[in-house]
């Protein structure tokens, strides 16, 4: 979310992520003699990663990169892409 410019949503999601983590780790630490706490934490972590990756893939919120190599001046193309909301990085080739 941060890399896509959604700072507010990233902050809200981060807040809830930390709260969930604190609740989970508190349960594990308060039940150190119970192996079920460890297994539950591990299973929850695994399920969270799996669901997060699945959600990311279905929403297609990831970053895609396109490289354009040309001898032409890129100023006009860069300007048009930026006007459409895309990030553009221009590099001067050497060598």
The whole-model pTM stands at 0.48
For residue 91, pLDDT over 80 is answered with yes
Q: Calculate the alpha carbon distances from 23 to 1, 11, 15, 65 in Å.
A: 24, 18, 13, 38
The token duo for 25 is 């780790």
pLDDT digits (tens, 9 = 90+) for 34-64: 888 889 889 989 998 999 888 877 776 666 7
Residues 13-36 have pLDDT tens digits of: 889 989 988 998 898 888 888 888
What is the distance between the terminal CA atoms of the chain, rounded to a whole angstrom?
Answer: 36
Residue 32 confidence (pLDDT)? 83
Q: Provide the pLDDT for residue 62.
A: 61
For residues 2-14, average pLDDT: 81
What integer pLDDT is reported at residue 16 of this predicted model? 92
């Amino acid at each position: 979310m941060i890399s896509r410019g959604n700072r507010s949503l990233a902050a809200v999601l981060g807040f809830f992520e930390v709260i969930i983590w604190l609740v989970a780790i508190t349960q594990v630490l308060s039940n150190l003699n119970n192996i079920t706490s460890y297994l539950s934490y591990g299973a929850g972590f695994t399920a969270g990663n799996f669901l997060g990756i699945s959600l990311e893939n279905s929403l297609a919120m990831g970053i895609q990169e396109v490289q354009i190599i040309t001898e032409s001046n890129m100023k006009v193309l860069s300007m048009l892409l930026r006007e459409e909301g895309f990030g553009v990085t221009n590099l001067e080739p050497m060598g």
